[in-house]
């Protein structure tokens, strides 16, 4: 059987047999013609990223980049699949595209709806997922000046975008991904909340953008105004409707608690919509002075401005646990910091070698040079350190790892600015101004930033890493998540249609069994997502979030019998803790079908808990 193979001097796990699903995902999604395994892909990607270096130094950097990939840096899927190939594909995973209120014109710098549709189609054709804020589209029934017709509202136009996503085949046969965002004070917010109740919009994730004013109104049991800049028109004019001093038209008023309850009951029933806390997102933004963030990429880990993009990569934390499962198990901070610094350079290089679906996306990216370095395998790494994910010591260790990542990444970007120049919109006064993420850095780091600048406006993002963790990390736990189950049945879509089921095991369990034997009892650190409280999931995000400048993609898994009141409280706690958003999912609820299925099977002899099959 094929083996995962690493050089002897890298921070690597012992060799483990390559699981069939890991092999098939690797070869189907990432390997190109003539490539037969992980190291072939690593060599291609390393050579491609080195092309951004000076000509005489490319071989040296290619060798260093190759070692970084072998040591556990996992660039995002588009980089792994397309770097160094002739594919007409972007290396950037996700974008946010603006949508204006006109049909084909230009709405104060925002492209009309069908222009935005064409731009999104081109972005998806080249492999990028897209997030949109549909809040500029006038509500259903509003007056359309110069016509005898009234507006359709955002939701019918979302159906057009959904159909386009389903129709356009992206580069590398990647399924399209979209995020739709609507502000909580848009007059059509209730139609948006229920837009997927009948199974429509299957190519969208939905998120409601909540403001602090709305959340305070919920707590105080006050009404909120539903507003838009478009005039309602005579057919739906009522006594409540008037034009405010800020130019917005008031369409009506609703009790904030009633809207909140509508959002929460929909999320409780089928996992959507998620929520984005807009004011927190913008207050933390290093570039608050020159951009406003109103939407996020499809998985929510990157709030982005119009035409913004996220250049992503993750570090496999399991590769830095020394003496795993032993009483003296420890995390190698120094090796982790060194790899993080090199990963920043690699992601910065991606911005200079990638193809951009749209010229405006490229201009936006190179003005700010956003990247999103994060980690994967947190749940497994904690198990290997004998720490429970849902206990204070586990959260403290995760927080220390995130702080180490932040410090290494910001130091590396500052050093790159000294070597290559700061991003063009860098201004030390506003970048380090009160309230920004960067203002919380250490004073020595801020002194260096004032002296040399920053190469990248943003550096940190924790993304979901489903298929790259499968293909390159032996099914290590996904992103910031704990393991969903130690062993499971996973359904995989086949290129020719249909699905195939695979038995797959979590990396930490496989490593434990290799070291301790098949019959060894599992220790108390082996806790899965559904064996811990929902609050423990939120608490982990709260522990890590202060050290992540973009955002964190995290699904709070809760049991199907979670009471509505407890479920609702999770979202309120998330806002009160200063998080940037939240999505919770009741396993076994009426949410969209999962690729993982848990089936209880007989426990191993001597195991502390049953082994679940997913």
Written as one string, the DSSP assignment of 254-276 is EEHHHHHHHHHHHHHHHS--EEE
Helix spans in 126-255 (H): 154-167, 189-193, 212-220
- C-alpha–C-alpha distance, residues 107 and 104, integer Å: 9
300: left (phi over 0), alpha (psi -120 to 50) or beta: left
Instruction: For residue 303, list its beta bridge partners.
Output: 296
The phi and psi torsions of 560 (rounded to 5 degrees) equal -60, -25
In order of 129, 142, 296, 298, the CA distances from 551 in angstroms are 17, 35, 9, 12
- Characterize the bridge pairing of strands 321-322 and 330-331: antiparallel
**Per-residue CA distances from 578 to 215, 218, 543 (Å):** 12, 16, 11
Rounded Cα distance, 238 and 240, in Å: 5
**Short-list 544, 248, 261, CA closest to 395:** 544
Query: Of 594, 593, 613, 595, which is closest to residue 603 (Cα–Cα)?
Result: 613
Residue 178 tokens read as 């979209």
β-pair type (596-597, 94-96) = unpaired
Helices (H), 71-112: 77-82
Contact status, residue 409 vs residue 373, Cβ threshold 8 Å:
yes
DSSP three-state, residue 492: strand
List all residues 6 or more positions away from 33 whose beta carbon is below 8 Å from its beta carbon. Answer: none
Q: Which residues are catalytic?
A: 297, 299, 301
User: What three-state secondary structure class fits 478?
Assistant: coil
Query: Residues 590, 270: contact at Cβ < 8 Å?
Result: yes
């Amino acid at each position: 059987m094929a083996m995962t193979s690493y050089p002897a001097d890298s921070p690597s796990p012992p060799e483990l047999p390559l699981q069939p699903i890991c092999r098939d995902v690797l070869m189907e999604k990432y390997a190109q013609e003539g490539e037969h395994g992980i190291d072939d892909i690593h060599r291609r990607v390393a050579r491609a990223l080195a092309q951004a270096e000076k000509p005489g130094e490319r071989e040296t950097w290619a060798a260093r980049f190759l070692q970084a990939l072998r040591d556990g840096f996992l660039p995002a899927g588009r980089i792994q699949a397309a770097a160094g190939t002739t594919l007409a594909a972007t290396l950037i995973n996700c974008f946010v595209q603006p949508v204006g209120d006109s049909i084909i014109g230009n709405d104060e710098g925002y492209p009309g709806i069908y222009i935005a549709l064409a731009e999104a189609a081109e972005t998806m054709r080249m492999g990028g997922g897209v997030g949109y804020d549909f809040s500029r589209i006038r509500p259903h029934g509003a007056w359309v000046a110069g016509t005898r017709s009234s507006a359709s509202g955002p939701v019918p136009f979302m159906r057009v975008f959904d159909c386009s996503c389903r129709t356009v085949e992206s580069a590398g046969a990647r399924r399209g991904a979209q995020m739709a965002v609507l502000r909580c004070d848009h007059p059509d917010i209730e139609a948006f909340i229920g837009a997927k109740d009948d199974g429509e919009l299957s190519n969208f994730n939905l998120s409601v953008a909540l403001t602090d004013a709305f959340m305070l109104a919920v707590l105080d049991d006050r009404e909120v105004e539903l507003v838009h800049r478009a005039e309602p028109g005579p057919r739906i004019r009522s006594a409540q409707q008037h034009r405010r001093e800020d130019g917005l038209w008031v369409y009506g008023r609703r009790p904030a608690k009633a809207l909140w309850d509508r959002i929460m009951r929909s999320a409780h029933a089928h996992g959507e919509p998620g929520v984005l806390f807009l004011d927190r997102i913008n207050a933390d933004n290093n570039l608050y002075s020159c951009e406003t963030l109103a939407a996020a990429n499809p998985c929510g880990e990157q709030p982005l401005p119009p035409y913004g993009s996220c250049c992503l990569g993750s570090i496999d934390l399991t590769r830095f646990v020394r003496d795993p499962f032993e009483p003296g198990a420890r995390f190698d901070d120094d090796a982790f910091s060194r790899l993080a610094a090199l990963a920043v350079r690699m992601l910065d290089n991606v911005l200079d070698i990638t193809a951009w679906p749209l010229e405006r996306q490229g201009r936006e990216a190179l003005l700010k040079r956003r990247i999103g370095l994060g980690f994967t395998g947190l749940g497994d790494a904690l198990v290997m350190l004998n720490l429970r994910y849902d206990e204070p010591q586990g959260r403290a260790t995760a927080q220390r790892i995130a702080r180490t990542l932040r410090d290494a990444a910001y130091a590396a970007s500052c050093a790159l600015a000294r070597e290559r120049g700061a991003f063009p919109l860098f201004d030390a006064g506003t970048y380090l101004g009160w309230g920004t993420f960067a203002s919380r850095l250490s004073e020595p780091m801020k002194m260096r930033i004032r002296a040399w600048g920053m190469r990248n406006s943003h550096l940190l993002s924790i993304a979901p890493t489903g298929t790259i963790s499968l293909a390159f990390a032996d099914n290590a736990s996904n992103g910031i998540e704990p393991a969903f189950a130690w062993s499971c049945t996973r359904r995989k879509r086949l290129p020719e249609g249909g699905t195939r089921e695979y038995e797959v095991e979590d990396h930490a369990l496989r490593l434990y069994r290799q070291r301790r034997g098949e019959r060894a009892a599992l220790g108390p650190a082996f806790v899965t997502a559904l064996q811990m409280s929902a609050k423990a999931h939120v608490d982990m995000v709260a522990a890590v979030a202060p050290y992540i400048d973009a955002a964190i993609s995290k699904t709070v898994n809760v049991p199907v019998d979670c009471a509505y009141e407890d479920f609702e409280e999770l979202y309120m706690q998330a806002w009160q803790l200063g998080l940037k958003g939240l999505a919770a999912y009741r396993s076994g609820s009426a949410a969209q079908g999962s690729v993982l299925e848990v089936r209880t099977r007989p426990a191993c002899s001597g195991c502390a808990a049953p082994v679940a099959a997913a």
